[in-house]
Structure 1
Amino acid sequence: MRSLGVLLAVVTTSLIPSACLPEAVPCPAIAQAPVVALTVAASYAPSVKGIHLKACQDGTCREADLELMPGSVSVDLGCEPASGPDGTCSATSSPDGTLRGMLMMDVLTESRIDATATGTSSVGAPLPERKLSFMPKAAYPYGEQCGKFITAGTVLDADGLRQES
């Protein structure tokens, strides 16, 4: 009987520490593309036919004519009434008048990026050369346990090239 009591004490005390450990949090299986994104502001988009972007970081430069696609924003369509926390919700995208393109980099770090945008206007004339030096932004959108995401976004308008806010 005494050995049964010792066994019970060992099993019970071995379960206590594991009950106090935090559960593993699942991370989404999302890979981050190392890109410098460029958005042509809606007010400037009608003036733009094409954009060439050059970006240099850590001694490596990449450049390309960007494939410009129409930009959009998400519009919340709400959730089903009384659907609870696991209910069905929906959204749709709506064009916002911008143009968006991406320049693929080999690697994207938190180091400074020197970017130069040139291009062609809608009437075929060259657009003014615009330059920007900026620091990419780092964030943990899924928590620190899921790793850091680094983003490098720029906006081009009639006033020049600026970092996306």
Structure 2
Amino acid sequence: MRRPALLLVLMTTMSLVPACQPAGSACPAIAQATAVAVTVTAGYSPRVASLHLRACQDGTCKEADVELRPGTSTIDQGCIEGGACSATASPDGTKVATLMLDTLTESPMTVTASGTAPDRTALQVRALEFQPKVLYPFGKQCGKVLSAAVLLDDAGLHLQPASP
């Protein structure tokens, strides 16, 4: 009689063990864009009519004339009682563009920017060598995301500062 009772206790205990473990966290099913993002600063953007980007990494280069779009800043509109919050985008004078890549790795890359001014004169060619940033925006359990983002101003190309 003792064995069936012991077996029942063990089976009951073992069924409770998974409930005592920390719950897994769900990771978002969001694909990472393999791209280089460029932001032309508000002070320099009036002097940029067109932009050509070249990105080289791991012995492979990709280049294209990129579409310049108006940049925006996020304006917090606060929260209402009950927890609903909102924000809006407001033009901030910057211009943004993206150069899509076939792959993006953690290896160093060189980005070169050239283009024309509104009067069709050539802009000074600017280049920057850097290593894409490794980010874990959803926690290490969800894997890394690589970011290659640069700023273009009258002094040249610079790494895009981290978002708050």
The TM tier, using the shorter chain, reads: over 0.9
How far residue 79 of structure 1 moved from its aligned partner, in angstroms, is 1.1
- Structure 2 regions of 5+ residues with no counterpart? none
Name the counterpart of 1:104: 100
Equivalent runs, 1:35-54 vs 2, <5 Å:
35-54=35-54
Instruction: State the secondary structure of the residue aligned to 2:148.
Output: strand
How far residue 5 of structure 1 moved from its aligned partner, in angstroms, is 2.2
Letter in 1 for 2:120: G
Name the counterpart of 1:164: 160
Identity over the aligned pairs, expressed in percent?
A: 51
Supply the distance in 2 between the matched residues of 1:62 and 1:136 (Cα, whole angstroms): 16
How far residue 78 of structure 1 moved from its aligned partner, in angstroms, is 1.2
Equivalent runs, 1:59-78 vs 2, <5 Å:
59-78=59-78
CA offsets per residue over residues 6-25 of structure 1, 9 Å max, x none?
Answer: 24312232034312322121
Letter in 2 for 1:140: Y
Superposition RMSD in Å: 1.3
How far residue 4 of structure 1 moved from its aligned partner, in angstroms, is 5.1
1:91 aligns with 2:91: no
Match for residue 150 of structure 1 among 146, 150, 153: 146
Equivalent runs, 1:16-27 vs 2, <5 Å:
16-27=16-27
Match for residue 128 of structure 1 among 112, 124, 127: 124
Number of residue pairs aligned between Structure 1 and Structure 2: 161
Instruction: State the secondary structure of the residue aligned to 2:17.
Output: helix
TM-score of the pair, normalised by structure 2 = 0.93
- Structure 1 regions of 5+ residues with no counterpart? none
TM-score of the pair, normalised by structure 1 = 0.92
How far residue 3 of structure 1 moved from its aligned partner, in angstroms, is 5.2
How far residue 145 of structure 1 moved from its aligned partner, in angstroms, is 1.0
